[in-house]
């Protein structure tokens, strides 16, 4: 399954791979195929027999025995609901209608039937799952969705029963529950079947290029996607277990089952809680080491000044204790990048401390708002097209690393540090980076679909080339094995292979050309810039908690949600001070907020929270407060405390006045004043 080349004696019939822990059958064991395959009629007969039990009670024990017998071996499993026809691309060899009816019948049975199925297939789950994955990937989306819900309900039922237990150690009971473990493995197979690109790598014609990169050159590869979104796998009951304990058990590589082994079952919010807990733990460790270093430093100075007499050594002051757990950056707005880079480089060992920002020459104590504004201003400058670190595609609105950038690698290192700090400090950044960046960070293979996301015109050209079936490719496309990029108005060409400028692209080597060109764009041409970026990111986010996330989730974590704002939901979680929901000013405010177009809605949200996006866990998890600044009308503009997501309003008379005041305030404010 892992493609490892292992040697074994010829007499061996089965072995367990030490690489991927799968059990491999080398010689078919006798008696694995049943005398007759499992059919719908057999299930119906046993169901009816159970209802007509001689004891007068419903007894499905014979049905349980039948399912365990028919489903415990691959050969037996593979023959279930068969049509007897040869397996071809047109015919899968399985009577899908009969299978659906059988599944619907079993779904209505008691939980003991589901347990029987789980127990019987558990033995299959330690064997290569390619066959099961292939079958799952062929299911239609509604059926696929029903299968996932079925197994998730079983996990929910088992965990719910355990949480009702009076056992004080109930939070670890699931670690020894074989049925939950089997269900989690089944979900893992379904999760793999939902990843089309991972399945495509099992086929021929896919080539691995460089580190963490796979290009799929099959036809129409750019239009394939997941059957269902990954959040459909989340199990909300799993979020209620003691996740830090589960994380520690997983981190220690203990032999016990943990849900962190199957992170797709854990929701984004729960993963963020794990990451926050891990960050807090690492910050506490760093704080303890800092305090110990300060004490030792102070003791050493005292010993030197008192000629070895330490009787007058004092403890740390309150100010020293308060600053110990913090990373404080003091920067000027007009020299933000250079001063930020200098101070971050000087404090590399303290990056996991809680971040505080001071803008030199400005009032304001950072309770979160200045930090968010620092992130916003820094990202705005680093990703400015005129700065030249990133190149933008007009069609996709995404940016990519500039292979011709004149900026030093330290600047890309700073971008990586900033994104890592934003994750650790729970700050949303509106970065126009495509998903491929987060895939590369997590060493997840990328495909032409990812390239099409930020270079759609280039991907369209590749698709036309790959789908061109005539033999005159060389004459029609006039291409050589040369890659190019734009460097400040001029085209720079690089050979994709030795003497590539003299090798034409033909019908026989066009796939190789696409593979090499895609690798050139996404890897080789930006290798130095990306490695500096990766180094900065992992300097901050090098913990194990990051590996629980999928690339899509990391993107969501960094950027927040770009979905349209749900004003009604935001209103439902808003807290008022001096106002109430029925006050005229409040009614006018929400009416104006709803009236704004998306651009002005996000601008107002940014004015109040320092970010124009809401958290990945949903707008319901955004704290939002509106405070009354007095019962009288005023000519003063609304103010905000972005560190607390707090909007301060006066008792403005009239809707038009409130709207004008809000428009002026949110469009002309910056920092602690007006532009």
* DSSP string computed for 284-326: HHHHHHHHHHHHHHHHHHHHHHTTT--TTPPPPPHHHHHHTTE
Q: Name the token pair of 515.
A: 């593979």
CA distances from 383 to 186, 387, 401, 510, 527 (A): 43, 7, 10, 35, 19
Q: Label residue 523 left, alpha or beta by phi (over 0 means left) and psi (-120 to 50 means alpha).
A: alpha
| Strand-pair category, 354-359 with 326-331 | parallel
Under 8 Å between Cβ of 303 and 310: yes
Whether 628 is a known active-site residue: answer no
CB count, 10 Å around CB of 196?
A: 17
- Count of all residues that appear for the chain in the document: 675
Helix, strand, or coil here: 653?
coil
| Strand-pair category, 326-331 with 214-216 | unpaired
Contacts of 84 (CB under 8 A, 6+ apart): none
CA distances from 329 to 216, 286, 355, 417 (A): 45, 17, 8, 14
Give dist(CA 165, CA 172) in Å, integer: 12
**DSSP string for residues in 171-216:** GGGGGG-HHHHHHHHHHHHHHHHT-HHHHHTTSTTEEE-STT-EEE
* Element containing residue 492 per DSSP (H, E): strand 490-495
Give dist(CA 230, CA 556) in Å, integer: 12
Give dist(CA 18, CA 7) in Å, integer: 12
Whole-number pLDDT of residue 289: 73
First CA to last CA across the chain, in angstroms? 61
Give dist(CA 174, CA 249) in Å, integer: 13
Q: In this structure, is the dihedral angle defined by the CA atoms of residues 135, 136, 138 and 140, taken in order, positive or negative? A: positive
pTM over 0.75: no
Whole-number pLDDT of residue 167: 54
pLDDT digits (tens, 9 = 90+) for 218-247: 433 333 457 788 888 999 899 888 889 899
Give dist(CA 207, CA 650) in Å, integer: 64
What is the dihedral angle through the alpha carbons of 450, 455, 459, 462, rounded to the nearest 10 degrees?
-120
**Angle, in degrees to the nearest 10, between helices 96-107 and 40-51:** 20
Whole-number pLDDT of residue 223: 35
Tell me the β-bridge partners of 16: 23
Q: Quick one: how far is CA 669 from the chain centroid?
A: 34
Give dist(CA 427, CA 559) in Å, integer: 9
Under 8 Å between Cβ of 399 and 391: yes
| Strand-pair category, 390-392 with 399-401 | antiparallel
Whole-number pLDDT of residue 309: 54
Give dist(CA 517, CA 512) in Å, integer: 8
Q: Find where tokens 């130095």 sit.
A: 528
Whole-number pLDDT of residue 56: 67
Helices (H), 482-550: 510-522, 527-540
Q: Which residues in the chain show pLDDT less than 50?
A: 1-10, 12, 18-21, 28-34, 128, 170-171, 197-224, 321-322, 671-675
CB count, 10 Å around CB of 391?
A: 18
Helices (H), 10-140: 40-51, 61-71, 74-79, 96-107, 111-122, 130-137
CA distances from 221 to 118, 372, 451, 467 (A): 34, 40, 11, 11
Active-site entry in 80, 399, 541, 643: 643
């Amino acid at each position: 399954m892992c493609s490892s080349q292992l040697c074994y004696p010829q007499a061996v019939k089965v072995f367990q791979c030490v690489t991927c822990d799968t059990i491999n059958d080398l010689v078919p064991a006798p008696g694995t195929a049943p005398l007759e395959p499992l059919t719908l009629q057999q299930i119906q007969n046993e169901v009816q027999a159970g209802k007509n039990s001689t004891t007068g009670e419903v007894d499905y024990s014979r049905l349980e025995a039948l399912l365990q017998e028919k489903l415990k071996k691959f050969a037996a499993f593979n023959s279930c609901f068969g049509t007897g026809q040869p397996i071809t691309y047109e015919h899968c060899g399985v009577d899908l209608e009969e299978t659906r009816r059988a599944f619907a019948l079993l779904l209505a049975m008691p939980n003991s039937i589901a347990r029987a199925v789980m127990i019987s297939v558990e033995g299959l789950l330690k064997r290569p799952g390619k066959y099961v994955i292939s079958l799952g990937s062929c299911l239609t989306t509604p059926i696929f969705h029903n299968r996932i819900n079925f197994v998730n309900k079983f996990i929910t039922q088992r965990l719910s029963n355990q949480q009702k237990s009076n056992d004080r150690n109930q939070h670890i009971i699931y670690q020894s529950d074989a049925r939950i473990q089997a269900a989690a493995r089944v979900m893992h197979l379904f999760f793999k079947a939902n990843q089309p690109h991972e399945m495509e790598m099992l086929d021929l014609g896919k080539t691995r290029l460089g580190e963490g990169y796979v290009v799929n050159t099959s036809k129409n590869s750019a239009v394939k996607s997941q059957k269902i979104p990954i959040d459909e796998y989340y199990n909300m009951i799993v979020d209620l277990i003691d996740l830090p304990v589960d994380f520690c058990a997983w981190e220690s590589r203990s032999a016990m089952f943990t849900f962190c082994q199957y992170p797709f079952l854990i929701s984004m919010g729960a993963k963020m809680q794990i990451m926050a807990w891990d960050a807090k733990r690492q910050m506490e460790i760093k704080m303890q080491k800092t305090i110990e270093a300060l004490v030792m430093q102070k003791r050493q100075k005292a010993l030197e000044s008192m000629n070895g007499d330490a009787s007058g050594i004092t403890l740390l002051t309150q100010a020293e204790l308060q600053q110990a757990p913090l990373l404080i950056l003091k920067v000027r707005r007009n020299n933000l990048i250079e001063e930020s880079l200098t101070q971050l480089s000087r404090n590399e060992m303290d990056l996991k401390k809680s971040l505080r920002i001071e803008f030199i020459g400005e009032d304001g104590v950072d309770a979160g708002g200045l930090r968010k504004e620092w992130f916003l201003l820094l990202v705005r400058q680093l990703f400015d097209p005129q700065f030249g670190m990133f190149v933008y595609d007009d069609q996709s609105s995404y940016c990519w690393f500039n292979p011709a950038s004149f900026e030093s690698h330290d600047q890309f290192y700073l971008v990586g540090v900033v994104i890592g700090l934003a994750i650790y400090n729970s700050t949303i950044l509106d970065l126009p980076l495509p998903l491929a960046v987060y895939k590369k960070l997590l060493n997840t293979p990328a495909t032409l679909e990812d390239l099409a996301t930020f270079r759609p015109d280039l991907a369209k050209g590749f698709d036309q080339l790959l789908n061109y079936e005539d033999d005159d490719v060389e004459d029609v496309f006039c291409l050589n094995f040369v890659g190019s990029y734009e460097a400040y108005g001029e085209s720079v060409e690089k050979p994709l292979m030795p003497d590539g400028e003299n090798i034409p692209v033909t019908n026989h080597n066009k796939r190789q050309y696409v593979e090499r060109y895609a690798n050139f764009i996404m890897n080789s041409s930006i290798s130095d810039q990306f490695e500096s970026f990766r180094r900065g990111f992992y300097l901050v986010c090098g913990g194990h908690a990051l590996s629980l996330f999928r690339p899509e989730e990391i993107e969501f974590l960094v950027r927040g949600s770009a979905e349209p704002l749900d004003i009604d939901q935001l209103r439902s979680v808003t807290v008022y001070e001096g106002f109430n929901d029925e006050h005229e000013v409040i009614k006018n405010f929400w009416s104006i907020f709803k009236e704004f177009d998306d651009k002005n809605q996000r601008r107002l949200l940014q004015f109040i929270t320092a970010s124009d996006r809401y958290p990945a866990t949903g707008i319901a998890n955004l704290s939002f407060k509106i405070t009354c600044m007095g019962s009288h009308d005023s000519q003063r503009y609304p103010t905000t405390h972005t560190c607390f997501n707090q909007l301060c309003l006066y008792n403005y008379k009239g809707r038009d006045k409130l709207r004008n005041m809000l428009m002026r305030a949110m469009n002309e404010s910056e920092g602690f004043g007006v532009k």
